[in-house]
Structure 1
Amino acid sequence: MLFHEKLALIKEIISVTGTALAREAGLAPSCVCRYLSAKNSPFRGGGAVTRLSRAAAALAPGGRELNALREAAGARADEKTADAVERWLNAPDSGLREKKPQETHAPAARVGIAAKLALLMDSFGTSNAELARYANLDGSSVSRYRSGKRSVRSDDPILRSFCSYFAVLCKSRGVPEALAGELNASDGGCGECEALAARLLEWICEDSAKRPWLSRGLLEGADSAAAPAREAAPAAEGGVETGGRVYSGAEGLLAAVGEFAREAGGDGRPRDVYVYTSYLSWFSREPRFAEACAELMRGMMERGHKITSVHNIGFDADEIFEMIETWLPLFLTGKVEARYLTRPNRSLFSEFMGAAGNCSVRFSTLRGGSVRPRAFFSESGEEAAFVREQVEGLAAYSKPLVTFFRKEDTERLYSAAENCRGADGDVIKLTRRPTMESMPENLAERIFARVAPSRECFELLKRRYETRRAVFLDSLSHVGVTEIFPQLTQREIDSGEAQLALPWEAGFSASYTPDEYAAHMAALDRLAFERANYRVLRRASMPFSTIDLIVKEGSAVYVAKNDGEPAAVSFLNSQVCYLLERYVKKFVKN
């Protein structure tokens, strides 16, 4: 039986579509379609066969289908289903392609980097699609990098992204034996992700004659060096220098931001506002400036301004962690068109520029430092047009950072969340309210009967609960689920602060009674005891009062309002998703 015939039989046995099989395997649907139509076939022993085998075993809906799959694959009694299916698909009668030794005339440095990239991907079973998704590339680009058909310089940020990805895998899964020998590292000594990423980058580039990226280390710590002997001319009161357009020092920058905010909304008319930020290290180390910028954005949105914001995304977790709680709520207003650059910006400076109407502000300072930064504020229409053109030019090389969901987008939100449910990776929910799907059925029906204002609303709540409950329990069969919410005092529970998590369509809010809340908490503890894949954590301190974060590791991050007009965003940049995952995991460990 040929490979495409075996794959079609697997589909029939477990009753899934080719798209569902591709999604579970982390492959492109068009790839699986070509396999099924015999227009293409994978390599024998390749990663695609392994992934399809695991996906088939994971998607089998019950014991009957699982047994039928094992029977078709000729599984031995002590053999795992996925292993049996993989052995069956790789059998000689499948007619799979055989890997041939690669012949290339690429430069030696390129061959060395390609070979090491291939070793990393093979060691972890990483597909081209997975690595491409993380680095925001096309899967075919990764294929060419891996084969050596396309060169990648040792100072290319793409290579840094690759190393960061594998550093995360080393940290979460341990260092594979073959890789440990190459890196001279053991499973237990992989250290922090950033340090391991640097070690991987050094290893992958060590055969290259030149490593320009090392020159960046020459400027590390320059911002903390002694100030030059020559001092700048003293500023006038408030940090404003003679001429009134140049602001210096931290106080001066705060004054410049305030001036820009006042002038941007001077006549109260809605305006188009253009903002660019590059590397947030300086902002994150000056909380007053971060808060001033956030207030600037809020004030502009209250006046009805439309804001186009372009960001150069870095990979410094500490920087992002410092900014999350200040900036994350702004995305949920739906009034910020946030974008991120897709082309590398190798600047060593933290930069900010903004334009609205006939006023503009610009400044830059060495990354990580605030040694006499200077801001340039202008009320010149010509200067504002120049800044606006600069931001618009950057926007041409950018992609949307988030997808925004309103109440009318409820079904689209549910569909998007469902599409990533079958992927590998645990689910972590950082919420202000216990989720409705974690309630036992009898308790949910009792609560819905009490709070629903009409029979139609009761049916809606029950229907949404049953759908979410089925998905929730099914998830526990494949991945881990961790729910984190506040530890409420008895006084807070008695006063009605224990709020119910109701679907957007309900259109109203409600609280638990003390007895209902106690029953739900007891049910959660029982579920955690009975199901190894479920954890419930209660924290005395939570970062947000009106925001929930739901993370599907390696796939998606959703941020949703839990109060007021319904809204949610999904982040589209894989590095930001990874950093938000790390942020949420702090509340799992602490």
Structure 2
Amino acid sequence: MVFGQKLDFLIKTFNSSNSKLARAIRVDPSLVSKWRRGNRTPAPDSPHVPLIISYFLNINALQHQKDALMDVLRSAFPAIKDFGSVQAHKAVADWLFTTEDTAGSSHVPPPVGVHSISINNMFAKMSILSNISDTVDVMTPQAKSDITIKPGEQGSYEVFKGLEGKRQAVMNFLSLVMSSPRPLELLLFSEEDLAWLVGDPEFFMNWGRVLRQVLLSGHKVTIIHHVNRDPARIMSVIDQWVPLHLTGRLESYYYPKYTEKVIKSTLFIARGTAAIIAVTPENGHDTNYTFFHRDPLVIRLAEENYLAFLLTCRRLVHIYKSGSMGDYYREICALEERPGFLYVLKNAPTSLTMPVRLYKKLLDGLGLSASEKKERLELHQKRTANFNRNLLSHRYREFINIEAFETNLTDSEHTYNGLELFNDRAVRCSAADYIEHISHIIDLLRKYENYEVILFKLHEIDNAQRMYLTVKEDSSVVLSTCDDLGHKPIAIIANQDNIANAFEEYFDTLVEHVPASRRNKSTVIKKLQDRVDQIRAKLLLAKAKV
């Protein structure tokens, strides 16, 4: 085993997680994820290494968990006696960075809570089973001849071979749906590798166009996503399906217990009309077959299996449009209240860092009723209290577009995205009000070590001008549209830990694209203060001229 595999062994043995270890050693969970997958390995003299070792040697562990690690270490370092000794600390350090696992695979224990069975016990049990089988009568030829064979019901289907066959079956399926004189309900699920979908770019584009036509024609689609731990696969799910959710005709779910199966299945069902069924062995694209059924009995059985599986799944994506801002506000409050790192990418500062006085002033201009304003203000005060409390132990990293920031500081007023105040339209404030917000951000940067602001430029981050992004560690992702052109904002929330982890890694890579001069805290504070001083001077000059 290499470092990543050994770290994975430690995390599993002690029933820990990426976020727990990251919190203990003060790194991003995405970095722990990269270590585990082998995408990155710390140097043996890295300051992270002794912290990792101390975490596992000082964790509140059960005796069999400690024994599991000691068994591995003693196979290479027999002199070790105590779990928490200096010898154990050095042994773990040496073990983590040996190029070959001297302990051998037999010293890797089963998952926590599962008791290992020795080879001798296994053979003893096999011997017992062998004795039992000796007492069973062997079926005689006469007994075989007494078996009655009865034919089952006859059905019909079309069969398609390999990836090209699967693509053709899917297009035939969608064509049948489009030809239906009435709206249909589609039920989709696939555990298979997406090579059949994305492997042919022309097919992939055509699939997307046709599926969008299906949704816009009034058909409804329910999909159960197979969300694994591969960031590339997760990002492809987001890229393919999130835009289609904006039609309002698509609902997404996921199975909360992650499994990676050797044999993977696919179900595409147009209720009461047709069903595609495929069962594919891993890496068996060229030998698998896809079956297209129109038999009512097969379709009904497929529907029953799908709907039973759906009952065990959770909603993956929630969409909030105009008219549902109250629900969106409450969901955001619940998300921010949970402990953990928070990452934010926006064109301008978020309302979470807005002073209460300024927030109240902006609410007064929205035309809300007295009760609505009271509820919004109370929620904002709750949000800021949670924000300040979380900053004591969790990082809040905010990416702000410095180009938009500089433009707004030279204008007479500033525009906030409507979602910042949970409003359908953009909200405007004076330059003086905006300066108050930036000054409050400077105070927060000086007060809280865990609060970070990174000033990016649009060419450094794709799509930053069109989408806002918020990620809660191991929990949720919020994608929302900018409404600079006057369009009503739309927000999409995905509550799934693997998707959140993928976006955490995305944020980790974004940091590397921004120069140190725009992410170092003292430098950022100076840049913000310089801008505030400049606009104050301009406002004073304008006032003097009047």
TM-score, structure 1 as length reference: 0.51
Match for residue 471 of structure 2 among 548, 551, 555:
551
SS at match of 1:262: helix
Q: Quote the residue 2:276 is aligned against.
A: 361
Q: Is the 8 A contact 1:282 1:350 kept in 2?
A: no
Q: Is the 8 A contact 2:418 2:425 kept in 1?
A: no
| Counterpart residue type for residue 531 of structure 1 | Y
Pair 1:535 & 2:460 matched: no
Q: Quote the residue 1:569 is aligned against.
A: 493
C-alpha distance in structure 2 between counterparts of 1:397 and 1:462, whole Å = 38
Q: Quote the residue 2:510 is aligned against.
A: 587
Q: Quote the residue 1:269 is aligned against.
A: 182
C-alpha distance in structure 1 between counterparts of 2:50 and 2:270, whole Å = 45
SS at match of 2:183: coil
Distance 1:264 1:531, change over 3 A: same
Distance 1:266 1:276, change over 3 A: same
- CA shift for structure 1 position 117: 9.5
SS at match of 1:186: helix
Distance 1:473 1:190, change over 3 A: farther
Q: Quote the residue 1:174 is aligned against.
A: 52
How many residues align? The count is 398
- CA shift for structure 1 position 483: 1.7
Q: Is the 8 A contact 2:419 2:489 kept in 1?
A: no
Distance 1:488 1:518, change over 3 A: farther
Distance 1:492 1:280, change over 3 A: farther
Pair 1:508 & 2:422 matched: no
SS at match of 1:314: coil
C-alpha distance in structure 2 between counterparts of 1:294 and 1:171, whole Å = 46
Q: Quote the residue 2:341 is aligned against.
A: 426
Q: Which has the higher contact order (CA 8 A, sep 6+)?
A: 2
SS at match of 2:188: strand
- CA shift for structure 1 position 270: 2.0
- CA shift for structure 1 position 440: 4.8
Distance 1:448 1:391, change over 3 A: closer
C-alpha distance in structure 2 between counterparts of 1:580 and 1:203, whole Å = 32
Distance 1:421 1:252, change over 3 A: same
Q: Quote the residue 2:220 is aligned against.
A: 306
Q: Quote the residue 1:286 is aligned against.
A: 199
Write the deviation string for residues 414-460 of structure 1: whole angstroms up to 9, x where unpaired.
445545645442111234553123245676677677x7468979957
| Counterpart residue type for residue 388 of structure 1 | E
SS at match of 2:14: helix
Summarize the alignment of residues 421-570 of structure 1 with structure 2, pairs less than 5 Å apart: 421=336, 423-440=338-355, 452=366, 468-486=383-401, 488=403, 500-503=417-420, 505-510=422-427, 524=441, 527-539=444-456, 540=458, 541-543=461-463, 547-560=467-480, 564=488, 566-570=490-494
Q: Is the 8 A contact 2:329 2:422 kept in 1?
A: no
Q: Which moved more, 1:463-472 or 1:515-524?
A: 515-524
- CA shift for structure 1 position 262: 2.5
Distance 1:370 1:273, change over 3 A: same
C-alpha distance in structure 2 between counterparts of 1:171 and 1:407, whole Å = 49
Pair 1:319 & 2:233 matched: yes
C-alpha distance in structure 1 between counterparts of 2:49 and 2:274, whole Å = 48
| Counterpart residue type for residue 186 of structure 1 | A
Q: Is the 8 A contact 1:352 1:362 kept in 2?
A: yes
Larger Rg: 2
Write the deviation string for residues 230-252 of structure 1: whole angstroms up to 9, x where unpaired.
xxxxxxxxxxxxx9955556555
Q: Quote the residue 1:21 is aligned against.
A: none
- CA shift for structure 1 position 274: 0.9
- CA shift for structure 1 position 264: 1.0
Q: Is the 8 A contact 1:486 1:542 kept in 2?
A: no
Q: Quote the residue 1:260 is aligned against.
A: 173
Q: Is the 8 A contact 1:431 1:485 kept in 2?
A: yes
Q: Is the 8 A contact 2:343 2:472 kept in 1?
A: yes
Structure 2 residue runs of 5 or longer lacking an equivalent are 1-9, 21-35, 38-47, 58-65, 74-90, 120-155, 514-546
Q: Quote the residue 1:186 is aligned against.
A: 93
- CA shift for structure 1 position 296: 4.8
Distance 1:530 1:411, change over 3 A: same
Summarize the alignment of residues 87-486 of structure 1 with structure 2, pairs less than 5 Å apart: 120-121=14-15, 174-175=52-53, 176-178=55-57, 182=72, 185-186=92-93, 202-204=108-110, 207-209=116-118, 245-247=158-160, 250=163, 252-267=165-180, 269-282=182-195, 286=199, 288=201, 294-331=208-245, 335-341=249-255, 347-357=261-271, 358-363=273-278, 365-367=280-282, 370-371=285-286, 375-377=290-292, 381=296, 383-402=298-317, 410-419=325-334, 421=336, 423-440=338-355, 452=366, 468-486=383-401
Distance 1:487 1:457, change over 3 A: farther
- CA shift for structure 1 position 276: 1.1
C-alpha distance in structure 2 between counterparts of 1:122 and 1:391, whole Å = 33
SS at match of 1:430: strand
Distance 1:506 1:279, change over 3 A: same
| Root-mean-square deviation over aligned CA pairs | 5.4
| Counterpart residue type for residue 476 of structure 1 | L
Distance 1:487 1:330, change over 3 A: farther
- CA shift for structure 1 position 317: 3.1
Q: Is the 8 A contact 2:347 2:404 kept in 1?
A: no
TM-score, structure 2 as length reference: 0.55
Q: Is the 8 A contact 1:338 1:401 kept in 2?
A: yes
Structure 1 residue runs of 5 or longer lacking an equivalent are 1-115, 127-162, 165-169, 211-242
Distance 1:543 1:506, change over 3 A: closer
| Counterpart residue type for residue 217 of structure 2 | R
Identity, in percent, stands at 18
C-alpha distance in structure 1 between counterparts of 2:287 and 2:491, whole Å = 40
SS at match of 1:392: helix
Write the deviation string for residues 374-429 of structure 1: whole angstroms up to 9, x where unpaired.
54445555554454344234324444445565666555554455456454421112
| Counterpart residue type for residue 427 of structure 1 | L
